[in-house]
Structure 1
Amino acid sequence: MPPPIDEPPPTATHPKKVRPSLRLIKPGVTIGGLLVGGFTKAEARTLVSQRFTRPVTLEISPTRKVRVEAKKLGASLRLEKAVGLAMRVRQPGFHVPLSVDISRPKLARYLAGLAHVTNREPVDASITLKNFHPVARASSPGRRLKQVVASRKISLALRQHLREPIVLPYQELRPEVTDQAFKTAIVIERSSNRLLYFQNLKLARTFHVATGQAAYPTPIGDFEIVNMQRNPWWYPPQGSAWAEGEQPVPPGPGNPLGTRWMGISSPYVGIHGTPDAASVGYSASHGCIRMLIPQAEWLFNHVDVGTPVFIIAA
């Protein structure tokens, strides 16, 4: 009986489909230091790409780090060129270089944005009054990212395929006014006619002084010493009716300023000695702060230009 039509004769054979062998990279071949020998082209491409896309760690400070994708830093691989060369080489153990292109404008934009967040300006020391007592706020340094140096460090690490943390370089910015500027301070109590001298924010001495008359009050506010003179000349203040017709007075026993002048940052106002000792303790001046001459000389030797002067109504 003949076999069914849809079945091949027992003696018939079918040819087997031969699967083409995959082309592999020669053993020991590396791309950018990464071993890819024995892998296919697609596998090598994936391995190299995965390694390159590992984030870069940037150390902003000892306590702060950020992780950034290489492409955000402007880096791109010449991957196809490297993998193609790896496929063509016939020498086992051949080291294929992996070139990295860096977009400098893109890297510069990233660093500029980072600097905007991490830079800080220095803070000058300052001094204020609290309950009639000077209180200082300490200074603090600032810092600025060295963007050109940082760009070079990052570019080099990316081209060498390194992923160790990159310590970013910062320039320290020192404050112009440090805590040392406030070793001394003066508080003048206008109504009480007292001058309080502070050293290292502690009350060191108290002096009786003369302050301005009701018609010529000593100004209230925060000032500082801006001018210091030994044996000063006295010059009539311009525009002051009380000094109209007066002539300059040279140094000497009759000088209204005594032997020392400490001008403050209020026009024509200063701390000085006076030959009129009887006026000390009263509101008797034309706005200045008068002291006994020996006391003015002592104070002169214990202050500097820049010493804060607080004048209050107390």
Structure 2
Amino acid sequence: MTAGQEVGDPALRAGEAKTLSANRLAISYASASRRILIDAKIVDTLRVFRKDHRIEIDLNVEKGDGAEIKGIAVEVLSEAAKKYMPLQLASEAYESDPMFPPLLTAKLPSKLNLVIHLDADKPIPEVKWVKTGDVHEWVRSTFGRIFTDVSEGWEKKISVQDPDPAPTIRSILDGWAVNGNVGSQTERQRFVKTHLSETDNVLEILLRLIRGERATAFPQSNATVAATRNGVPGPLLAAIEGHAHGAQQTHVSLAVLAMFRMLMEFAKRADGEKGRGEVEERVGEIIRCLPVQLLHKSVEGMFKEWKAEKKGGNAPAR
């Protein structure tokens, strides 16, 4: 409340008749003692600048009844009533309150740029969609399928100018190396830096999940000989050659490996090493999208086998 105002103040009572759509922005500030409500219909864009602790909202503003502005309402917190009370724009209470923007000085109709500076010393926690910039995910989870028009409207208006870089398979593996539960951090980091630097070994993360826990792999150390004796046909047999985890493959996982080899071959024919690199990047992106718990489980199994092999033991076949 501004100084000297009570809940019964005419400036507050007169504002009670003004209502906005439920589809709106609500901006509270000044220790939550002031609030501005903005109807979604007049919002052109909303841009979040995370590094600058700033939000900019572009508004299409028109004159309403009397001195009011269409689609905008201002409120003050009543300590007595413990709720926000609407305040008329055409009131001395509003015009004398330095905490409100000078909306009445704008020439209407016009486009207004409302700049909101966030408290950098006491920042509020960032929600997931602000960090990632994935407005689509947030809108869908908030509005669901019922409010399709509403959600599509906000998707086109809201943007995050500087989201966190999108995660990659490398960043996820580096994160596991730091926060994993098996072995030491130094061992995990060496495993990621050496063994998982090869695309075939990154693909093995997926192949292990395809094989499953009880899959029967080729039992011999010479994967090519074992596969031949188990009746593996030519295309699958060719895929196993040179693969570090060849002895652990099954017919099904070999089929996936063979298709990967085929993709690499055609990509290299089409665009040389650039094409090959693009396939490797896309495969890494696919594996990155696996559920984190499954991805970590597969990597941990590979790490245990790698560690046992480094110590001179026999890694269990899977």
Q: TM-score, normalised by structure 2?
A: 0.22
Higher strand share: 1
Q: Which protein has the larger Cα radius of gyration, Structure 1 or Structure 2? A: 1
